[in-house]
Structure 1
Amino acid sequence: MHVQIVLFDGFDPLDVVAPFEVLHAGRTATGGAVSVELVSAEGPREVTGGTGGLTLRATAALDPGRPGWVLVPGASGRIGEPGEEAGEDTVPVLLGRALTTPLPELMRAAMAHPEVMVATVCGGSALLAMAGLLEGRRATTHHLGMDLLDATGARAVDARVVDDGDLVSGAGVTSGLDLGLHLLDREIGPRVAHAVEELFAHERRGIVWRARGPEPVAF
């Protein structure tokens, strides 16, 4: 199981670091069956996040044809007040800048590849939705971005983690822990996921939403 975690200017550090640590611990727990790397659309480079100028290094270019997972984080910045003109440090502007890079087309290629699956944390699904890549797909995001998913043709689901087959999305920032554990559970098995969960002293929250079982009757 290989995971490429994408960095772009203004990324949210916790969206990246939380699943990275979970997956790296999965590597240790499996004797190397899990691998994870930081990548960018432009190739190896220092990438500055949107929280306090924290910088991480992408060690490779995003490869949309490499079998495994590609994980897209959200951006970190101000949300902005209603009616306020979006400033340079706001999440919509940071996501918009990412859309002007090669990232959208690389993600389009990744999502069209039969051996590549995509995961997102927080605003990562909003980024893909803004690029027109989530039409008709079930996904979640930060609660402040749910309307954006619906407006772009995605099918927003109010859950902590949404598993839509080859697309798995996490909600708010800390959901990256739960998403990483779900990927380990799904791809490797519950024993490894549970061991990592215990190591991190973290108890997963909520039920992973899947399109299985009967439709619930309205309460």
Structure 2
Amino acid sequence: MKAQVVLFDGFDPLDAIGPYETLTAGGIQAELVTAEGPREVPSGVGFSLRATGGLDAEEPGILLVPGAAARTDEEVLALLAAAAPALAAPVRQALDRDGVTVATVCGGSLVLAMAGLLEGRTATTNHLGLEALASFGVNAVPARVVEDGDLITAAGVTSGVDLGLYLLEREVGARKAFEVEQLFAHERRGTVWRAA
């Protein structure tokens, strides 16, 4: 199994690295990718990360979209809106494939909603963005992690580690998730809200 963590200009590093490191600690191969292919990607907090590959919507496994970081809410929304067009087609393709789980952290669900991919689905985001998420026809739930079948979303920035642990439990097993939880000295918060 492989996890693709999708970077875009202005991404929030903790949204990306929290689940990336959690998944790799649990034995899932993870790669930083972009819709455009390998490149340096500026984060929203003043440093860049190198994406080593291009987003492959045909790849089974996990496709994870982080949120954005900026000084104001308006700037965050602008970064998310700018990311949506490039991600719309490949993420739609991934959602249509068996064997692919699409996951988001924080504003990542807003990227997908802005791309028209979440209407009628159940998801979460940072508590400050729940109203915006609902405005796109999403059943916005104020939970830390929400599962809606092949779509798993996490709330605020620190929930990315909880998301990674939940994905490990789901894909590898509870024992491995517990091992990583102990390794990180982190206890998951809240119950995973399920749409079904």
1:45 aligns with 2:30: no
CA distance in 1, matches of 2:133, 2:80: 14
CA distance in 2, matches of 1:99, 1:161: 22
1:14 aligns with 2:8: no
Matched letter for residue 64 of structure 2: L
**SS at 1:37 equivalent:** strand
Number of matched pairs: 196
Q: Quote the offset at 1:211 in angstroms.
A: 3.0
TM-score (norm 2): 0.97
Matched letter for residue 152 of structure 1: F
- Identity rate, percent: 60
Which sections of structure 2, spanning at least 5 residues, go unmatched? none
CA distance in 2, matches of 1:162, 1:97: 25
1:23 aligns with 2:17: no
1:92 aligns with 2:85: no
Question: Aligned-residue CA RMSD in angstroms?
Answer: 1.0
**Alignment deviations for residues 100-123 of structure 1 (CA, whole Å, 9 cap, x no partner):** 4x2221111111112211000000
2:56 maps to 63
**SS at 2:157 equivalent:** coil
Runs ≥4 residues deviating over 4 A = none
- The 5-angstrom pairing of residues 118-157 of structure 1 reads 118-157=102-141
TM-score (norm 1): 0.87
CA distance in 2, matches of 1:149, 1:74: 13
1:196 maps to 180
Matched letter for residue 63 of structure 2: V
CA distance in 1, matches of 2:195, 2:54: 33
CA distance in 2, matches of 1:79, 1:150: 20
Q: Which has the larger radius of gyration?
A: 1
CA distance in 2, matches of 1:175, 1:78: 20
Matched letter for residue 6 of structure 2: V
